[in-house]
């Protein structure tokens, strides 16, 4: 059969090639005499196309490669030589299975990177991040925190002085350098947290739940443990991934994307059980150095969370169960021997700091 003309798409671009076809041992495709491809007849399949045009694909070629033949005689010759033209069985089905298999492999790879690779990278990267970069990140996240809580800080002078005295005592007991003055935010949520760089926040809901300075001190010592271990930085790196790494690379640790990642990361992800246990141990050691009891910390936590052992979903919790923490803190407890961390008057001033 004489050479006929057709339209060929090579699958690499959307460029349309006017080509000549010849039916030899394979369907040969040439453009202006230059050989482009040879399609084995067993690999040729029909593809969806307009009426009057036979559109072909090659299961062994690039996925988007196509050949369009308008000549009726050439179409008949293709139908005669390509015995599997309309067969989607083995080859077509195998192609689909390959796509599914590669999709599943890609999903598994992404999961493995997120579950194992990113935390591994965060663990290795955190120790080499300079302190100034961590402090800048904490300063940037501070704006996010203020926005989340509408900037409502409680600042009665006597209460603020009492809280600063308490946190400073804990820092000295832990051997940590002086840092920012702690801040109380007007929120009913019973919580406290430390930003990267050591800035401490206490939510008023925690003050309402606490009945003694030692209860509050245990929680704050726990948060100082997270700051000392740089857990907040590690979590932001793990959650922020590429955004934070690029921020470090270009010195933009306070850039918009990193700030957003930092703010979200501090509130949308919990620490691991191991990390929480290490922060508890830090709190125990700090309170012991100050001659104060550790058990009140666990009692406050139980008062906040309530019993968790009967919760069928407790096994999936990221933090240790409160009863287990209380038992561990009780086992490490010793009668208080040091001076009270706050006087009765200072404790009353701290409890009413938001009034």
Residue ranges of domains in the chain: 4-81, 129-351
The dotted CATH code for 4-81 is: 2.30.29
How far, in Å, CA of 71 to CA of 68, rounded? 10
pLDDT at 107 over 50: yes
Between the alpha carbon of residue 136 and those of residues 65, 141, 225, 257, the distances in Å are 52, 9, 20, 14
How far, in Å, CA of 211 to CA of 207, rounded? 8
Helix (H) or strand (E) holding 134: helix 131-148
Q: What is the pLDDT of residue 101?
A: 59
> Which among 119, 349, 342 is positioned nearest to 220, based on CA atoms?
342
pLDDT, one tens digit per residue, over 276-289 is 888 888 988 999 99
DSSP of 225-267:
HHHHTTHHHHHHHHHHTHHHHHHHHTT-TTSHHHHHHHHHHHH
pLDDT, one tens digit per residue, over 195-248 is 888 888 999 999 999 999 999 999 999 999 988 888 877 777 776 654 555 454
Q: Give the pTM.
A: 0.58
pLDDT, one tens digit per residue, over 311-332 is 543 433 445 566 777 777 777 7
pLDDT at 267 over 60: no
How far, in Å, CA of 323 to CA of 303, rounded? 11
Q: What is the pLDDT of residue 320?
A: 59
Mean pLDDT for the chain? 78
Between the alpha carbon of residue 152 and those of residues 181, 202, 222, the distances in Å are 16, 12, 24
How far, in Å, CA of 325 to CA of 16, rounded? 70
Do residues 61 and 11 lie in contact, with contact meaning Cβ atoms separated by under 8 Å? yes
Helix (H) or strand (E) holding 195: none
How far, in Å, CA of 182 to CA of 52, rounded? 78
Chain-centre distance for alpha carbon 126: 15
Q: Identify the band that residue 139 occupies on the pLDDT scale cut at 50, 70 and 90.
A: confident
What length is written for the chain?
A: 355
């Amino acid at each position: 059969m004489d050479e006929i003309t057709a339209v060929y798409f090579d699958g690499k671009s959307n460029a349309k090639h006017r080509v000549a076809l010849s039916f030899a041992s394979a369907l040969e495709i040439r453009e202006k005499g230059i050989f482009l491809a040879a399609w084995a007849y067993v690999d040729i399949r029909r593809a969806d196309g307009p009426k009057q045009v036979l559109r072909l694909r090659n299961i062994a070629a690039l996925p988007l490669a196509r050949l369009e033949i308008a000549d009726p005689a050439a179409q008949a010759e293709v139908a005669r030589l390509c015995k599997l033209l309309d067969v989607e069985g083995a080859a077509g089905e195998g192609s689909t299975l390959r796509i599914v298999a590669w999709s599943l492999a890609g999903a598994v790879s992404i999961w493995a990177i997120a579950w194992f690779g990113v935390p591994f990278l965060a663990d290795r990267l955190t120790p080499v991040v300079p302190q100034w970069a961590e402090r800048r990140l904490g300063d940037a996240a501070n704006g996010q925190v203020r926005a989340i809580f509408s900037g409502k800080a409680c600042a009665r002078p006597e209460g603020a002085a009492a809280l600063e005295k308490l946190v400073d005592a804990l820092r000295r007991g832990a051997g940590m350098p002086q840092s920012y003055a702690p801040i109380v935010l007007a929120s009913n949520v019973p919580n406290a947290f430390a930003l990267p760089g050591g800035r401490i926040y206490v939510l008023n809901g925690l003050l309402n739940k606490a009945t003694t300075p030692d209860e509050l001190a245990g929680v704050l010592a726990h948060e100082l443990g997270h700051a000392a271990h740089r857990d907040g930085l590690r979590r932001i790196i793990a959650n922020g991934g590429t955004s934070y790494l690029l921020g470090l690379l270009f010195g933009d640790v306070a850039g918009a994307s990193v700030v957003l990642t930092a703010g979200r990361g501090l509130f949308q992800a919990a620490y691991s059980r191991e990390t929480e246990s290490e922060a508890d141990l830090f709190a125990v050691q700090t309170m012991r150095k100050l001659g104060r009891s550790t058990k009140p910390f666990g009692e406050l936590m139980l008062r906040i969370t309530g019993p968790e052992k009967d919760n069928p979903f407790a096994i999936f919790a990221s933090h240790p169960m409160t009863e287990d923490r209380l038992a561990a803190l009780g086992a490490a407890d010793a009668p208080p021997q040091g001076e009270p961390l706050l006087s009765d008057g200072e404790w009353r001033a701290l409890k009413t700091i938001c009034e």
